[in-house]
Amino acid sequence: MRPENTPANAPRKHRILVIEDQEEIRDLIANYLNEQGYEARTAENGLDGLFILEQWPADLVTVDMNMPIMNGRDFIEKAVARWAEMPIVVVSGIGAVEEAVEAIRLGAHDFITKPIENFSLVNNTIERALEAAELVRQNRHYQANLEKMVEQRTYELQETKRQLLYSLGKSAEYRDNETGRHVIRVGEICALLGKACGLEDSLCKTFGEAAPLHDIGKIGISDTILLKPGKLTAEEWEIMKSHCEIGCNILRHYSTDPDTEELNFPEIISMADDLGKLTILEMAMVIALCHHEKWDGGGYPCQLSGMDIPLIARIVAVVDVYDALSSDRPYKKPLSEEVCQQIIREGSGNHFDPEIIDRFFENIDEIMAIKKRWMD
């Protein structure tokens, strides 16, 4: 049967490759498709078809099953592996229907039996296959956009959280430091030393975001004590030291009634045994509580010593003191870099963990670069 006349509303032009070893059928199908507004090319066997597709990407392929050199089955296996979303329509003899069904299992979209009695069936089958392929592409595009939107939204939420935590840490720092850049420096230097001490990159990132909250408890200390230019009395010093517990209490997650639950120091400290499981706020809670502990046990509020002090608190202890020494505060003048480094060296083995001091001076150039970048 000869092809039907071209309809007035021809579909959008698509590229179609016709693979058929019988020249008369091959040309008949190709001519019909060209008349329908498609751009058709032909190949005599599966191997030629693969070669043409590499040079001329098609939107759809029709393929006979029984051909020399490379049959339809082998072509489909290779084509599906190479162009997974390209629809394939099998054109097979009536006696090869079982082969056509097997071809669909391999990834072909549909099949047409020979001899072709009605070419409108060819057009309808190809239209359905192209529409299905377009739906697949649209769905993939939608999924990709959805994933991108989720990724962007997640980033925005993470950035908002980071900014809120930074602002929270800075709110306490503004009490006695007008720029609040101390908390930025502490965060970046702690992340640097965390990496130098063997923490994974993801942990260092969390650590760098949690460390700026170390002095959040200062919010609960009155200005008469926090900003006092002279030496604190014994009573005032005890109040000043309470900022560790206050900070921990501000940051802790309440799982029960906050009015009845008291701080459990051992439980909070033990949280740091597995840093990978800690959220930013949990890590900040441990830091707020323990960053004034000393290596020799002379710190507060728990009088921990040595390795009993969580690593993150031992690092913050060094960084906080180092940066505070060179900062201008209402009650003190900044010290020179040389004096600051000397005080840190002298604190090794009594105030500070000696190993962290070693890592500190191994990275002193990068530390000073951070200080310069975030200078008050």
pTM over cut 0.85 = no
- Is domain 15-141 given the CATH code 3.40.50.2300 in the classification? yes
DSSP 232: P
d(CA 265, CA 286): 9
Contact 197, 356 (CB under 8 A): yes
Contact 326, 221 (CB under 8 A): no
- Measure the CA dihedral 83/84/85/86, to 10°: 40
* CATH architecture, range 174-373: Orthogonal Bundle (1.10)
Instruction: Find, among 352, 342, 322, 351, the residue nearest to 334 by Cα.
Output: 322
Over its C-alpha atoms, the chain yields an Rg (Å, rounded) of 36
d(CA 55, CA 41): 12
The full set of domain ranges for the chain reads 15-141, 174-373
Contact 65, 73 (CB under 8 A): yes
**Per-residue pLDDT of the chain in tens (376 residues, 90 and over written 9):** 444 554 445 445 889 999 998 888 889 889 988 988 889 999 999 999 999 999 999 889 988 888 889 888 899 889 888 888 888 888 877 666 677 677 778 888 787 777 777 787 788 888 888 888 788 888 887 887 877 888 787 777 767 666 666 666 666 665 555 446 888 899 999 999 999 999 999 999 999 999 999 999 988 888 888 888 888 999 999 999 999 999 998 888 654 445 556 778 899 999 999 999 998 889 999 999 999 999 999 999 999 999 999 999 999 999 999 998 988 776 678 899 999 999 999 999 999 999 999 999 999 999 999 999 988 7
Contact 302, 184 (CB under 8 A): no
Tokens 């498609």 correspond to what residue?
Answer: 38
Instruction: Annotate 112-176 with DSSP letters as a single string.
Output: EEES-S-HHHHHHHHHHHHHHHHHHHHHHHHHHHHHHHHHHHHHHHHHHHHHHHHHHHHHHHTTT
